[in-house]
Structure 1
Amino acid sequence: MSVKNGRVAVVGLGASGLVALKNLREAGFDAVGFDSNAYIGGLWMYTPDPTKTSVLKSTVANLSKHLGCYTDFPYPDNVPDFPLAHQAEEYLEAYADHFDLRRHARLQTRIERVGRRDGQWVLKATDAGSKTTSELTFDRVIIAAGLQVQSPKLPDIKGIETFTGHAIHSNAYKNPEDYKGKNVVVVGLGNTGPDIAVDLIGYAKNVWLSHRRGNAIFSRRNASGKPGDFVLSLRGVKLGGIFNKHFPSLSQWAVVLGMNHMTKKKFNIPAEWGLREAHPPTRKVPTLSDTLVSAVHQSQVHLKRGLTAVNGSTLTFADGSQLSDIDNIVFATGFRSDFSYLDPAADPTRDTRKDWSGLPGANSRPLPRLYQGIFSLDFPDSLAFIGTSPLTPQANMNYDISSAAVAQIWASKSTLPSRAEMEQHVDAQHESVCRIAATGELANTNLRNNWDWYKWCDEAAGLGVVKRTSWSVEGWKFWLADRQLSNLVNGGIFTPHIFRLFDEGKRTPWEDARKAVEKTNADAKVERTP
């Protein structure tokens, strides 16, 4: 592979950093990846180290392997529909080996600071082995560090300082055996809280799961036993995006109605649990758990309302009830992004809206000014962030197509709008987010119209998918020329492989993309056990 486009540092070699490294090198950049860990894969590599963020040993991927892969690298056939944690890590390892990424990776190297000097980026790097620090210069930088540059977020609970037991953030939870015979309260009804609560069954004496407002509980599989994400299609995403853009309130109402229907069809959730009603996805991400409901029915996990106060070993909840003799509290309450490693001139949060921090939905989170959630407005030609993709479930696909867009733009095969246009775009996105945050909970600071974002990535990366969608001139031409493939692309499984089918003179298509698209759709027809 010839190198012609300059040196790029990729900070972080988890799922987002690996594909960014690959796409940059594919586009002709001399890209080097850095990670503070001794391994690639980021949080998908389980570690007992309480200072490092990782999956649990029992973690199962929320997205099926058919939609959760990269655009040009399917999961092996022998991996189940929903990979276990170690299988997801093995997939990332295999990806790095297949595309020869390891020799471009510098592990056990922590990037302490990213600054600007004489028109170049200067990275302050510390070697974990020798403890020596050096300065490295690059033309461009991609930040793909994810949770490695986020700090645990803890709620402000009255009297928490008096707690006589042991309270931790879920980031430090590693092994259920550490809680044998203990009375444990897990706080948070996202995805991590229920996973930890169920993980403690058989070890802790009693397990309670505390939640403020309930949430929709989804299963990974539908009533017929097939992955629930098989319902996603390119045509459906397009229609949903258009509908949400022009009729946002009606769209949210329809989504909540559908979510409640799916939950009730799969689970028996009594009203007294306070879990039945879904929240709009702009407010809260649904909880995905195949085991929580049955665990509550069997009294293996007990539900409590929001934790409001602590006094010694006694906990008080929003409904006035109390629990005594509590040994442990695990706060599964999320993370907040930390941009303090960046030079102040490059910090995307320094000029954010003045009213943001006071909004009810801000929840102490920063609101970065990034074009498409990716590009620095101050240094768009040399600083980008991967991993802040919009609220869609297909993280690996999003990392892939967004980093491909960055590579094509920096290689001058695609262009960015003017600074003024990018500022206007960010202002509009922030206005939309702040309207939601002003009236309550906000699921994600990077909320945006998913279809518009896919369209932008598709055009910038040169993928050629969007223009071939249904009800367009190119779409009709595609259908007339190849009806089978057109039907699979538009109405079949929303597999990432569709983004590597076409040659638009920018990103090289993958020669096995069609075969992979056909195989994914054929696999989807295979019957599963409910």
Structure 2
Amino acid sequence: MSGGLGKSVCIIGAGALGLVATKNFLEEGFDVTTFERNAYVGGLWHHTKDTTQTSAHPATRSNISKQGACYSDFPYADDVSIHPTAKEQQMYLESYAGHFALHSSIKLSTSVAAVERDDARRKWVITTKPTNIIDPSVEHHAFDRLIIATGTNGKRTMPVFAGQERFEGQILHSQQFKDASKFKDKRVVVVGLSHTAADTIQFLKAAGAQKVYVSHKRSPILVPTTVKGKALDHGVTRRLTFIGALISSVSPPLGAYMMEKYLLSLQNTTWPALKDHPAFATTRASPSVASSVPTMSATLALNLLDGSAESVQRIDRISGAQTVQLVDGSELPDIDAIICCTGDNFDISGLVPAEYDPTNAAFAPDEFSAFNASAYFREDYPVPRLYRNFLSLREPHSLAFLGYSLYRRPVFALYDLMTMALAQLWKGEFPMPSRLDMEANADKHYTYIVSELQNGHVNHNGLTGDIDFDVWLNKAAGTQLYERLGWGRDGWKLWWGDRKLYSMLMDGVDSPHAMRLFETPRGRKSWEGARAAIEEANAEVEELGKKWQEEQHAGKAKVAYD
């Protein structure tokens, strides 16, 4: 075991991240206890009416396909939608917990009241209390290692509008938006143009809102969830990812330019009329593809184009009891509600001691000063200093944070891989990087974010496009994916000996099952069903393409006949 520590692990949170961490650490022989404040697993995919918790609306759909969004050794059921609904996601996570017998390690309805460090014993002391008892008593537990898997959806990012005290309508955050039917016949302003805003607009429309305005400062890059009958992610092959990463490694600006051109071509090909729409006017700021996530939506473009949602400038002030004034001087009258789809934040304030808080400026004053001095600095968007965006610099052998990192890999698959790698690190099967290397990695990410903040707002401070991040995770986890698909002996051996498999891995669906495919001398456990699952995923996607082509031919034939 790394650091001379024991194998007891505390995991806080049993959402999508905490569940996969629980499973992967149990699999490697650790003694795991996971605390979850709710009476259920699944985190935000379980809809709740609690307005203090972020949860998916029942009508929400995943932007990623079921072939790409699954865990590495647990495919979705055959009858699940290509883009799973929130309910299907919740059922998937519950099935995952049941299949791998995780419930015996999870303490539901148990909140973490405090986290302390006992340096003498080298233990994390966790104070918990039940959430389903009126006057609960607290319990204290000691663990060798701690994983905080509460994600980034803890603290609302909420704007404050000048004059909002005079507003007689509702001002709420999307976290509080639980029942769209309450806005039937209402005039609503939606603030922001993110995934959440796109869904909120659609839900308001379906509920019969009288008028929906969408107030935003920047024009988004809007991409469809489906292209030619297939999910967008079905076309993002591993070969294309490798080529893009190679270009970016040689010239980051060229890589960003090519990515932007690709995304804009998707947008303009799918919805040509958007080029002339006010939401995409050249007078609006444009996001950097290097530090922002495109808005994926099947409904937003249509709602903008048909007038179901009217794009307006950002809010300047509340000028009356029901009047909103915009920065261009125009006013929106008779407004009943303002819904702020302005995101949530990585927030562990008050959870871990200050000396272990990765957002504590005292431990890297020069770096934090540069961040604070950047042109688009926002105090409510902290940048934690972590190795690879998840491992504590102060206690790398015993403290990790899940939820801050964002990479081109779907979230479930990313954190599956990340916790495989973390388990190998803490098990002592993969060498812990030196303190110097970890500091350098954290500094590199900080420098990158600061440089991006000189040019515009960064909508996710944990986003990285560096393929070295993925290479390191795979190497630490022991998947051997890069070795088997590279130019070395193992790569040529697979290419020569099993051309069909090699082609599927490089040019087919980028399936998470590939992370469990190869039997390797070290690292995570392989899964004997991986190849069959990869083949099935590719067959399903091929069938989707054929079905779309048949529908296109049938449609053309009907037009010709008519």
TM-score (norm 2): 0.90
* Counterpart-to-counterpart distance in 2, 1:93 and 1:71: 16
Equivalent in 292, 296, 309 of residue 301 of structure 1:
309
* Counterpart-to-counterpart distance in 2, 1:446 and 1:205: 38
Q: CA deviation at 1:307?
A: 1.5
Cα distance 1:513–1:291, how it changes in 2: closer, same or farther (>3 A)?
A: same
Number of matched residues? 525
Which residue identity lines up with residue 443 of structure 2 in the other structure? D
**Are 1:85 and 2:86 counterparts?**
yes
Q: CA deviation at 1:392?
A: 2.1
Cα distance 1:244–1:276, how it changes in 2: closer, same or farther (>3 A)?
A: farther
The 5-angstrom pairing of residues 300-339 of structure 1 reads: 300-312=308-320, 313-339=322-348
Cα distance 1:67–1:124, how it changes in 2: closer, same or farther (>3 A)?
A: same
Moved over 4 A (4+): none
What is the aligned partner in structure 2 of residue 348 from structure 1? 358
Range with bigger deviation, 485-494 or 87-96: 485-494
Range with bigger deviation, 49-58 or 234-243: 234-243
What is the aligned partner in structure 1 of residue 523 from structure 2? 506
What is the aligned partner in structure 1 of residue 560 from structure 2? none
* Counterpart-to-counterpart distance in 2, 1:388 and 1:473: 36
What is the aligned partner in structure 1 of residue 288 from structure 2? 280
* Counterpart-to-counterpart distance in 1, 2:388 and 2:156: 25
Q: CA deviation at 1:391?
A: 3.3
**Are 1:233 and 2:233 counterparts?**
no
What is the aligned partner in structure 1 of residue 125 from structure 2? 122
The 5-angstrom pairing of residues 400-439 of structure 1 reads: 400-439=416-455
Range with bigger deviation, 429-438 or 351-360: 351-360
Equivalent in 351, 362, 376 of residue 361 of structure 1:
376
Q: CA deviation at 1:429?
A: 1.6
**Are 1:166 and 2:166 counterparts?**
no
Query: Does the CA-based 8 Å contact 1:390-1:450 persist in structure 2?
Result: no
Q: List per-residue Cα deviations over 1:481-507 (Å, max 9, x = no partner).
A: 221111111222111011101122221
Q: CA deviation at 1:5?
A: 5.3
* Counterpart-to-counterpart distance in 2, 1:255 and 1:518: 29
Q: CA deviation at 1:528?
A: 4.0
Instruction: Give the 3-state SS of the residue equivalent to 2:132 in structure 1.
Output: coil
What is the aligned partner in structure 2 of residue 38 from structure 1? 39
* Counterpart-to-counterpart distance in 2, 1:139 and 1:5: 6
Q: CA deviation at 1:363?
A: 2.3
* Counterpart-to-counterpart distance in 2, 1:361 and 1:522: 46
* Counterpart-to-counterpart distance in 1, 2:409 and 2:300: 20
* Counterpart-to-counterpart distance in 1, 2:445 and 2:337: 40
What is the aligned partner in structure 2 of residue 523 from structure 1? 540
* Counterpart-to-counterpart distance in 2, 1:461 and 1:271: 48
User: Structure 1: which 5+ residue stretches go unaligned?
Assistant: none
Q: List per-residue Cα deviations over 1:405-450 (Å, max 9, x = no partner).
A: 0101111111111111111111112111111112212132123334
Which residue identity lines up with residue 346 of structure 1 in the other structure? Y
Instruction: Give the 3-state SS of the residue equivalent to 1:311 in structure 2.
Output: strand
Equivalent in 155, 159, 169 of residue 155 of structure 1:
159
Equivalent in 395, 414, 438 of residue 398 of structure 1:
414
Q: CA deviation at 1:83?
A: 0.5
* Counterpart-to-counterpart distance in 1, 2:86 and 2:217: 29
What is the aligned partner in structure 2 of residue 440 from structure 1? 456
Instruction: Give the 3-state SS of the residue equivalent to 2:178 in structure 1.
Output: coil
Cα distance 1:492–1:271, how it changes in 2: closer, same or farther (>3 A)?
A: same
What is the aligned partner in structure 2 of residue 215 from structure 1? 220
What is the aligned partner in structure 1 of residue 557 from structure 2? none
Q: CA deviation at 1:314?
A: 1.1
Query: Does the CA-based 8 Å contact 1:281-1:443 persist in structure 2?
Result: no
* Counterpart-to-counterpart distance in 1, 2:158 and 2:408: 25
Q: CA deviation at 1:255?
A: 1.0
* Counterpart-to-counterpart distance in 2, 1:379 and 1:178: 48
* Counterpart-to-counterpart distance in 2, 1:320 and 1:244: 42
Query: Does the CA-based 8 Å contact 2:383-2:461 persist in structure 1?
Result: yes
User: Structure 2: which 5+ residue stretches go unaligned?
Assistant: 552-562
* Counterpart-to-counterpart distance in 2, 1:498 and 1:283: 27
Which residue identity lines up with residue 93 of structure 1 in the other structure? E
Range with bigger deviation, 201-210 or 168-177: 201-210
Query: Does the CA-based 8 Å contact 1:185-1:326 persist in structure 2?
Result: yes
* Counterpart-to-counterpart distance in 1, 2:281 and 2:518: 44
* Counterpart-to-counterpart distance in 1, 2:463 and 2:329: 35
Q: List per-residue Cα deviations over 1:303-348 (Å, max 9, x = no partner).
A: 1121121122211123322101111001000112212111112111
Instruction: Give the 3-state SS of the residue equivalent to 1:112 in structure 2.
Output: strand
* Cα RMSD after superposing both structures: 1.7
Query: Does the CA-based 8 Å contact 1:35-1:106 persist in structure 2?
Result: yes
Q: List per-residue Cα deviations over 1:123-181 (Å, max 9, x = no partner).
A: 12121123222211111011111145x21011242222322211011110001111122
* Counterpart-to-counterpart distance in 2, 1:11 and 1:327: 39
Q: CA deviation at 1:457?
A: 0.6
What is the aligned partner in structure 2 of residue 449 from structure 1? 465
Query: Does the CA-based 8 Å contact 1:470-1:490 persist in structure 2?
Result: no
Q: CA deviation at 1:270?
A: 4.6
Query: Does the CA-based 8 Å contact 2:222-2:295 persist in structure 1?
Result: yes
Q: List per-residue Cα deviations over 1:207-258 (Å, max 9, x = no partner).
A: 1111111112211101x12111111122222221221122111111111111
Instruction: Give the 3-state SS of the residue equivalent to 2:339 in structure 1.
Output: strand
Instruction: Give the 3-state SS of the residue equivalent to 2:115 in structure 1.
Output: strand
* Counterpart-to-counterpart distance in 2, 1:14 and 1:286: 24
Instruction: Give the 3-state SS of the residue equivalent to 1:506 in structure 2.
Output: coil
What is the aligned partner in structure 1 of residue 17 from structure 2? 16
Cα distance 1:361–1:473, how it changes in 2: closer, same or farther (>3 A)?
A: farther
- Report which of the two has the higher share of helix: 2
Query: Does the CA-based 8 Å contact 1:260-1:276 persist in structure 2?
Result: no
Query: Does the CA-based 8 Å contact 2:287-2:456 persist in structure 1?
Result: no
Query: Does the CA-based 8 Å contact 1:392-1:450 persist in structure 2?
Result: no
Q: CA deviation at 1:470?
A: 3.8
Query: Does the CA-based 8 Å contact 2:110-2:128 persist in structure 1?
Result: yes
**Are 1:139 and 2:144 counterparts?**
yes
Instruction: Give the 3-state SS of the residue equivalent to 1:67 in structure 2.
Output: helix
Q: CA deviation at 1:471?
A: 3.1
Q: CA deviation at 1:52?
A: 1.5
Which residue identity lines up with residue 198 of structure 1 in the other structure? Q
What is the aligned partner in structure 1 of residue 555 from structure 2? none
* Counterpart-to-counterpart distance in 1, 2:281 and 2:102: 46
Q: CA deviation at 1:276?
A: 6.9
* Counterpart-to-counterpart distance in 2, 1:361 and 1:238: 32
* Counterpart-to-counterpart distance in 1, 2:326 and 2:547: 42
The 5-angstrom pairing of residues 263-274 of structure 1 reads: 263-267=267-271, 268-274=273-279
Query: Does the CA-based 8 Å contact 2:485-2:491 persist in structure 1?
Result: yes
Which residue identity lines up with residue 330 of structure 1 in the other structure? I
What is the aligned partner in structure 2 of residue 66 from structure 1? 67
Which residue identity lines up with residue 333 of structure 2 in the other structure? S
